[in-house]
C-alpha cells in the first residue's frame, strides 16, 4: 500500500502483546484503528490512552470464535470511520501437552481461536476492504510454528500451519480477481509477550515488520532469525523425500 495515513484498520487481539504493538504502530502512521479483543478492561484502557495521545481508535470487545461478533467489528469500522482498508487477524492463545493427552476442549480452544478466528476475520473483513475499490491489505499473524512443528504444541502448530496455507490461498484469490489487496502471513519467533515472557525480541519489532510488509506487500513476514536453520533443514528434508516409485 502506498497510502497509509488516513486509512482504516482493524486489529484483533489488540489488548496486549503483538496486537497492541501493531495497533500502536498503525496509529503512529496516521491510521484510524478499531481495536478488538476479548479482554474488554485492558482493551478499553489502552484505547483511552491512545485517544488521549491524539490517536483515533475505537475499542470493541470480541470473541473471535463467534463469527457474528467478528462481523460486528467490521461493521463498526465502517460505521465509525466510513471504510476498512487493513485487517490484522492476530488474536491467539497457546496450550501445551502431548497431542494424545490434551482434551478435545483444549484442542478446540486453540484451533477455534487461532485458525477459525482468522477464517472469521477473512470472511468479515475482506468483503469490506474490497468494497472500497482502493488499496488494502490483510495481515494474518501465525508463528514459526507455521513452518516448524513444536514439541507438545500440537493444536497451536496445526492452527498456525493452517493460517499459512489460508493466507497463501487468499493471496492467490485476490490476485485472480484483480483486487489491489495484498495478503501477508507473519511468522514471529521468540517474541516477549504475556504468552511468552522469556522471549528475546520485542513486540515492537514485529509491528515494524508488519508495517513494512503492508507497505511493500511482503507475502511472508519473518520478524527474526530464530530457528532459521531448523526451518531450512525441514524444507530440504521434505523436498529430499520425494521418490519416483512406479509399480
Catalytic residues: 156
- Single out the residue of 16, 54, 52, 129 nearest to residue 35, CA to CA: 16
- Single out the residue of 12, 227, 37 nearest to residue 119, CA to CA: 12
- Single out the residue of 140, 141, 132, 218 nearest to residue 179, CA to CA: 132
DSSP codes, the chain: ----TT-EEEEESTTSHHHHHHHHHHHHTT-EEEEEES-HHHHHHHHHHHHHTT--EEEEE--TT-HHHHHHHHHHHHHHHS---EEEE-------B-TTTS-HHHHHHHHHHHTHHHHHHHHHHHHHHHHHTS-EEEEEE--GGGTS--TTBHHHHHHHHHHHHHHHHHHHHHHHTT-SEEEEEEE--SB-SSS-TT-SB-HHHHHHHHHHHHHHT-SEEE-S-TTHHHHHHHHHHHHHT------
Distance CA 71, CA 93 (A): 21
Amino acid at each position: 500500500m502506498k497510502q497509509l495515513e488516513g486509512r482504516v484498520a482493524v486489529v484483533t487481539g489488540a489488548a496486549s502483546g503483538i496486537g497492541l504493538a501493531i495497533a500502536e504502530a498503525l496509529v503512529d502512521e496516521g491510521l484510524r484503528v478499531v481495536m478488538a479483543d476479548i479482554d474488554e478492561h485492558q482493551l478499553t484502557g489502552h484505547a483511552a490512552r491512545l485517544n488521549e495521545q491524539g490517536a483515533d481508535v475505537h475499542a470493541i470487545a470480541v470473541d473471535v470464535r463467534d463469527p457474528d461478533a467478528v462481523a460486528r467489528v467490521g461493521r463498526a469500522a465502517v460505521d465509525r470511520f466510513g471504510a476498512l482498508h487493513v485487517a490484522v487477524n492476530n488474536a491467539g492463545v497457546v496450550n501445551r501437552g502431548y497431542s494424545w493427552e490434551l482434551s478435545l476442549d483444549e484442542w478446540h480452544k486453540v484451533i477455534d481461536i487461532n485458525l477459525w478466528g482468522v477464517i472469521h476475520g477473512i470472511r468479515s473483513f475482506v468483503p469490506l476492504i474490497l468494497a472500497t475499490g482502493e488499496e488494502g491489505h490483510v495481515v494474518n499473524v501465525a508463528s514459526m510454528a507455521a513452518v516448524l512443528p513444536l514439541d507438545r504444541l500440537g493444536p497451536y502448530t496445526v492452527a498456525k500451519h493452517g493460517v499459512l496455507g489460508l493466507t497463501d490461498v487468499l493471496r492467490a484469490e485476490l490476485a485472480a480477481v484483480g483486487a489491489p489487496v495484498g495478503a501477508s502471513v507473519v511468522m514471529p519467533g521468540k517474541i516477549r509477550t504475556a504468552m511468552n515472557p522469556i522471549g528475546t525480541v520485542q513486540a515492537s519489532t514485529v509491528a515494524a515488520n508488519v508495517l513494512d510488509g503492508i507497505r511493500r506487500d511482503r507475502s511472508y513476514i519473518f520478524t527474526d532469525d530464530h530457528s532459521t536453520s531448523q526451518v531450512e533443514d525441514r524444507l530440504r528434508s521434505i523436498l529430499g523425500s520425494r521418490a519416483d516409485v512406479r509399480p
